[in-house]
């Protein structure tokens, strides 16, 4: 089927720790891939994107690489801050029209 699977949270880290949030997708073809972040009480913000295989999206110290061999788009950050505490959604573009298919979301909590 067409879906996005994220690692279950919550992920709890100390400040300055390394972050990885796993995301894999199933799809026919090579859809655009996205990471969105949702801070408490807010809407979704586009964090980064990749539109083709081997593309690396990056923003605010976060990175993700489009891996077609493993159908993955894992989110990484070298040193997290308390302000990174939020819910992170991996998403792929649906087929046929501009419909986002989201993963379940991963809650990240960073402690001082």
Partner 1 sequence: DTEVTQTPKHLVMGMTNKKSLKCEQHMGHRAMYWYKQKAKKPPELMFVYSYEKLSINESVPSRFSPECPNSSLLNLHLHALQPEDSALYLCASSQSTDRAYEQYFGPGTRLTVT
Q: Is the CB of residue 31 less than 8 Å from the CB of residue 3?
A: no
Task: For residue 87, give Cα distances in angstroms to 51, 70, 108.
Answer: 22, 24, 6
Question: Residue 37, class by beta-carbon neighbours within 10 Å (0-12 exposed, 13-18 middle, 19+ buried)?
Answer: buried
Q: Which lies closer to partner 1 via its Cβ, residue 17 or residue 100? A: 100
Phi-psi region of 83 (alpha: psi -120 to 50; beta: other; left: phi over 0): alpha
32 near partner 1, judged by CB under 8 A: yes
Residues 62-91 as x/- pattern, contact with partner 1 by CB under 8 A: ---------------------------x--
Nearest approach, Cβ of residue 77 and partner 1 (Å)? 20
Q: Which lies closer to partner 1 via its Cβ, residue 49 or residue 77? A: 49
Contacts with partner 1 by CB under 8 A lie at 31-32, 34, 36, 42-46, 49, 51, 89, 93-95, 97-100, 102-105
């Amino acid at each position: 089927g067409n879906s996005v699977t994220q690692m279950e949270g919550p992920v709890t880290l100390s400040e300055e720790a390394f972050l990885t949030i796993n995301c894999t997708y199933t799809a026919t073809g090579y859809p655009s891939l996205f990471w969105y972040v949702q801070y408490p009480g807010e809407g979704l913000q586009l964090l980064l994107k990749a539109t083709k295989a081997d593309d690396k999206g990056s923003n605010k110290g976060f990175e993700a690489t489009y891996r077609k061999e493993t159908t993955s788009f894992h989110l990484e950050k070298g040193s997290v801050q308390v302000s990174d505490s939020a819910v992170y959604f991996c998403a792929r573009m649906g087929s046929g029209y501009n419909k986002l298919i989201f993963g379940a979301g991963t809650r990240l909590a960073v402690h001082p």
